[in-house]
Structure 1
Amino acid sequence: MTISGGGDFPASLLLVGAGRMGSALLQGWLKLGLDPGGVHVLDPAPSPELQAFCTTVGVKLGVPATPPEVLVLAIKPQTLASAAPALVSLAAPTTLVISILAGKTLKTLADHLPSAGAFVRAMPNLPAAIGAGITGAVADPAVTPEQKRKADALLAAGGRVEWLGDEDLIDAVTAVSGSGPAYVFYLAECLAEAGIVEGLPPAVAERLARATIEGAGALLAALPEVAAAKLRADVTSPGGTTEAALAELKGGDALPKLIARAVAAARKRAQQLSG
């Protein structure tokens, strides 16, 4: 179910971890009206850029005096166990914990932060940095409708939100959309390299590959009612150049099988990160 943007921002929020994704979410929240005076950022090694940003916008670096309304976990999944003891006192029964840690289940989160009242597990992706991302999310039964609205408002700052009824689907979300931008970037690399092999100057090949993927993505966004398969068919003239290229990509289901293996490997790794 897609909600995307309903509800108000919380009055107090603690962001734990301000790396690329955490910082992107923070900037999105502030742009959409989150009061910086109610925000604390806790990062083990804040960069000079992060310190300057927080000072400029009025966000506090460090531990809040009282548990926040919402605690967002944006640290590396592997560091949860070591970071959790310092966070237990910051997660009150009234605190909603939102985790974007790949592989970490709702049960694992509750085991590490037993004092928290409710949990949301989410998986955004890198385009959230420009408000063009998509996030898969699942709420535990203790999450109230008001808390879910607040979680949705925070997650929607990075783009669309898909709420799932089954937590088991989150690892598949991680494999498809969480890791997915890297697949597209790699396609751009490969397309540019192929162009160079065919004689294009490297800079031209790079621009052609990037613009092609940008344009194709924009067309997908502009025509949400049209299936990707239909758009592909529209570009593929019988007996033409595109058909010849697709015959290579689809021969023996080469590309579909490769993509399926890649997504399965990412899902498996997400499962290995649990616990």
Structure 2
Amino acid sequence: MRDLHISFIGCGNMASAMIHGIIKAGKVAPDNVMASNRSREKLEAIHASCDIRTTTDNCEAAAFADVLFLSVKPQFYEQVICEIKDDIRPECLIVSIAPGKTLAWLSSLLGTDKKILRTMPNTPAMVGEGMMGICPNERMTEDDVHLLQDICKSFSRTQVVGEHLMDVVTAVSGSSPAYVFLFIEAMADAAVAGGMTRSQAYEFAAQSVLGSAKMVLETGKHPGELKDMVCSPAGTTIEAVRVLEDKGLRSAVFEAMMACLDKSKGM
């Protein structure tokens, strides 16, 4: 267990998922974690579930931290940074989870002497299966990056990427759980139309997606090869694939991700 103080400014779904993962993995003691939020209800909930420190004072949370997660919505970043920047410790590692906020922009507000890590997590962190792209500024050392990766692996896989790819990370992992949920919901609706109960349909559809994703990660095979393994000649699967291709599934996903990427660049 590390002797670190970790603070979260903002305590929404993503921050709560991170906090639960960190505490469950025993990365630091609960008393070494603090969350700030305007909502006392959210603070009471996270204290009840994780026994961490809580406050409604963002400056108190900033002053407490060796590692500081800025987990408010992107539109509040400038306001919050201007509020807390004089209370941040000189060697504090500052972690941004906001799409579209570049390292240069963050440094212009926080100071060019600050150690900043730009990240893009996703909501599967809530079940310990997140995926994060991370991008450190030039002030962060390799040890700093490894420390943050060790903390974050309690709820997410991580990969260091160039900053030019951070908007792509937003499209391919940050926002993509929503695309997958739509796909699961559509499969379940069709199963219900075929006579299956709603609860059964969601379990069959979701487990199929989970298992398929695990095959991609663990076999190392190309997704196209794995698809071909399911498609028997003149069988049911290839007929379904034909319809998906005819209806433009690939193109729809491609265009949706490009729209997401463009939106991220403009934030």
CA contact (8 A) 1:92 1:116 kept: no
Using the TM superposition, give the Cα deviation of residue 38 of structure 1 relative to its aligned residue in structure 2, in angstroms: 2.2
Q: Distance in 1 between matches of 2:62 and 2:206?
A: 47
Q: What's the counterpart of residue 36 of structure 1? A: 30
Q: What's the counterpart of residue 83 of structure 1? A: 80
Q: For residue 97 of structure 1, give the secondary structure of its aligned residue in structure 2.
A: strand
Q: Distance in 2 between matches of 1:241 and 1:59?
A: 52
Distance 1:73-1:9 versus aligned 2 partners, 3 A rule: farther
Distance 1:110-1:204 versus aligned 2 partners, 3 A rule: same
The answer to whether the aligner puts 1:233 opposite 2:261 as a matched pair is no
CA contact (8 A) 1:15 1:22 kept: yes
Q: What's the counterpart of residue 5 of structure 1? A: none
Of 183, 190, 193 in structure 2, the residue corresponding to residue 187 of structure 1 is 183
Q: What's the counterpart of residue 170 of structure 1? A: 166
- Give the superposed CA RMSD: 2.2
Q: Distance in 1 between matches of 2:87 and 2:215?
A: 45
One-letter amino acid matched to 1:209: A
Of 102, 105, 108 in structure 1, the residue corresponding to residue 105 of structure 2 is 108
CA contact (8 A) 1:9 1:153 kept: no
Using the TM superposition, give the Cα deviation of residue 150 of structure 1 relative to its aligned residue in structure 2, in angstroms: 1.5
Stretch of structure 1 that moved more, 99-108 or 110-119? 110-119
One-letter amino acid matched to 1:244: E
Stretch of structure 1 that moved more, 154-163 or 53-62? 53-62
CA contact (8 A) 1:121 1:137 kept: yes
Using the TM superposition, give the Cα deviation of residue 12 of structure 1 relative to its aligned residue in structure 2, in angstroms: 1.5
Q: Distance in 2 between matches of 1:229 and 1:46?
A: 49
Give CA deviations for 1:74-101 in whole Å, capped at 9, x if unaligned: 1111111222222112323311111111
CA contact (8 A) 2:9 2:61 kept: no
Using the TM superposition, give the Cα deviation of residue 113 of structure 1 relative to its aligned residue in structure 2, in angstroms: 1.5
CA contact (8 A) 1:94 1:116 kept: no
Q: Distance in 2 between matches of 1:174 and 1:46?
A: 30
Structure 1: segments with no counterpart, 5+ residues: 1-7
Structure 2: segments with no counterpart, 5+ residues: none
| TM-score, normalisation: structure 2 | 0.89
Distance 1:47-1:262 versus aligned 2 partners, 3 A rule: same
Q: What's the counterpart of residue 136 of structure 1? A: 133
Using CA pairs under 8 Å that are at least 6 residues apart, name the structure with larger relative contact order, 1 or 2: 1
Give the percent of matched residue pairs that are identical in Structure 1 and Structure 2. 28
Of 18, 22, 27 in structure 2, the residue corresponding to residue 25 of structure 1 is 18
Using the TM superposition, give the Cα deviation of residue 23 of structure 1 relative to its aligned residue in structure 2, in angstroms: 0.6
The answer to whether the aligner puts 1:59 opposite 2:52 as a matched pair is yes
Q: What's the counterpart of residue 206 of structure 1? A: 202
Q: Distance in 2 between matches of 1:178 and 1:70?
A: 22
Using the TM superposition, give the Cα deviation of residue 9 of structure 1 relative to its aligned residue in structure 2, in angstroms: 4.6
